[in-house]
Amino acid sequence: MPVAQSWNGVCVGPLPLRMRKPTQLWNPWLALAAQTALLGMEAQQVIALRMMRLAVGGARGQTEAQRMVTEKPAALAEAQAAAFAGAIGSGKPVNAGKKALGVYRKRVRANRRRLTR
């Protein structure tokens, strides 16, 4: 049984069950946080590409501006449905986050591909 030690190495008693492996408890959440950070970086690239397209103007810029506005509610609805399905399917809150993140990641990557053509 793991034992807690003070700063000078003296044993002070057994660790509670919850404290034995904190990384085991938080590992799925840390992975989700890392994936969210990567999505944030990808989204910044899309924002920069969109700003360049808007700055050029013309028909393509106007179409992009309309697309920016109309795709948000659709992405939100899809992410909510995916999160609900993930939460119901597994019973774990982290899976709801993973499912919602997957929807946004798919849309951000599609936008980046489209804007770099």
Q: Are 70 and 4 in contact (CB under 8 A)?
A: no
Parse the chain into domains and list their residue ranges: 28-115
Residues 72-91 pLDDT 10s? 999 999 999 999 998 888 77
Q: What is the pTM of this model?
A: 0.72
- Residue 3 has what pLDDT? 44
Residues 23-45 pLDDT 10s? 555 688 888 998 999 999 999 99
What's the rounded Cα separation, in Å, for the pair 108 and 12?
51
- Residue 21 has what pLDDT? 56
